[in-house]
Amino acid sequence: MAAPKKNGMQTVWFQNPPVIISTASVVGPREGEGPLAKTFDHVINDPYYGENTWEKAEQRMMNDAVKKALQKASLQEKDIDFMLAGDLLDQIMVSNIAARTAAMPYLGLYGACSTMYEGLALGAMLVDGGFADKVLVGASSHYNTAERQFRFPTEMGTQRPMTAQWTVTGAGVAILAREGTGPVITHATIGKAIDMGQSDAQDMGATMAPAAADTITRHFLDTARSPDYYDMVVTGDLGVYGKRLAELLIKKSGYDLSGRFTDCGILIYNKAHDVHAGGSGCGCSAVVTCGYLMGQLKSGSCKRFIGVGTGALLSPCSVQQGETIPGIGHAVVIEARG
């Protein structure tokens, strides 16, 4: 059960921190050529992954990640109390189909690219609150499904501005448990939808940076911790420009992240990939967290990090109707146990 949360705080403390007993990640060909390639469980060699549509390929990746995470923990589908999942497709169809396949009690989430961290935060609350022994959390995205849904037919080869990001093809799954071996989730800070009036759908970094900065600052205020308490502060997919902006905003609030601030969207690709500002998509923070970051904790290179899933809350329809774009950031503290 949580420590009593004071009114107005956005951070919850876990009294019996839920354990991440297993994670799995499946990524696309491009992600499999990147600097984090070795940290992923499986690299698919073709964006269709043997299916006849990209959407079905993304579903297959999510199914694979679920199976792999269960297998690593020697668990079966029936051992999971709740599945929390989401993705970028309209009506989160990847997660719906994965939930049908897995046949677990299912709660669908939508937090744009923050979904993995929304799931980790909620999943940890369900476990620590005594409602579940084991919760499976998943999120996915696919370059080709996202591109044609949110932007243009990929066949058009539309030119992308330098602030644009490249949607990660990947699915990440984590299993949280009341007991077991693995890193633990000690805190979660739930973000607000923050809108600074940005309306350029090709510059998601600028949209999400103020939300990420707000959540990170709130976390430090709520916990009375300073950045040096963490080995790393890792945002989901701010990209090169968004990260710079967030760092500046956080500095203005009195917290200096220098030397410990990084971003999953920057980590996942090589310069040669020419993805402009970096990676994005629900799959970005999902696979980097389930692959690379878990590896860092396991190897001892990092003892404790704060991960912040970042999302841009837009739809093609909202952009067409002239809405500005709210951003959101949900933070979770993950520590190596012991």
Beta-carbon contacts of residue 4 (< 8 Å; ≥ 6 apart): none
**Binding residue for a copy of itself (CB under 8 A) from 19, 27, 44, 82?**
82
Question: Does 223 interact with a copy of itself (rule: CB under 8 A)?
Answer: no
Whose tokens are 């989730």? That residue is 185
Q: State CA 154 to chain mean position distance.
A: 24
Alpha-carbon distance of 255 to 199, in angstroms, equals 28
Q: Which of residues 98-117 bind a copy of itself (CB under 8 A)?
A: 99-100, 103-112
Interface residue with a copy of itself among 37, 48, 96, 225 (CB under 8 A) is 96
Q: C-beta of 148: minimal distance to a copy of itself in Å?
A: 10
Of 157, 271, 321, 338, which lies in the binding site for a copy of itself, with binding defined by CB under 8 A?
321
Backbone angles phi, psi at 307, to 5 degrees: -105, 140
DSSP string over 230-278: -SEEEESS-HHHHHHHHHHHHHHTT---TTTEEEHHHHSS-GGG--TT-
Out of 19, 43, 266, 328, the residue judged to bind a copy of itself by CB under 8 A: 328
Residues between 280 and 309 with contacts to a copy of itself, criterion CB under 8 A: none
Q: Could you tell me if 81 and 135 are in contact, meaning their C-beta atoms sit under 8 angstroms apart?
A: yes
Residue nearer to a copy of itself on the CB measure, 36 or 132: 132
Q: Does 200 bind a copy of itself (CB under 8 A)?
A: no
Give the Cβ contact number of residue 176 at 10 Å. Answer: 32
CA 228 to chain CA mean position, Å: 23
* Candidates 30-38, 89-97, 279-287, 288-296; binding stretch for a copy of itself (CB under 8 A): 89-97
User: According to CB under 8 A, which one of 154, 202, 217, 318 is a site residue for a copy of itself?
Assistant: 318
- Minimum Å gap between C-beta 272 and a copy of itself is 32
Residue from the set 113, 194, 201, 275 that interacts with a copy of itself by CB under 8 A: 194
The residue (of 30 and 134) whose beta carbon lies closer to a copy of itself is 134
Residue 331 interacts with a copy of itself (CB under 8 A)?
Answer: no
180 contacts a copy of itself (rule: CB under 8 A): no
Angstrom distance (rounded) from CA 76 to CA 85: 18
10 Å CB burial of residue 173 (0-12, 13-18, 19+) is buried
Stretch that binds a copy of itself, among 42-50, 95-103, 136-144, 162-170 (CB under 8 A): 95-103
Distance CA 285, CA 301 (A): 19
Contact with a copy of itself (CB under 8 A) among 282, 313, 333, 334: 313
In the complex with a copy of itself, which residue's Cβ is closer, 111 or 172? 111
Enter the DSSP assignment of 74.
T
**Chain length of the chain:** 338
Q: How many residues bind a copy of itself (CB under 8 A)?
A: 65
48 lies in the site for a copy of itself, by CB under 8 A: no
The DSSP output letter for 2 is B
**Binder to a copy of itself among 31, 58, 64, 128 (CB under 8 A)?**
128
Q: Are strands 170-177 and 19-27 parallel, antiparallel or unpaired?
A: antiparallel
Which residue type occupies 272?
A
| Spatial CA neighbour of 170 closest among 208, 215, 115, 120 | 115
- Name the site residues for a copy of itself (rule: CB under 8 A): 1-2, 4-5, 7-8, 10, 12, 53, 55-56, 78-79, 81-82, 86, 88-93, 96-97, 99-100, 103-112, 118, 121-122, 125-126, 128-133, 149, 190-195, 313-318, 321, 323, 326, 328, 330
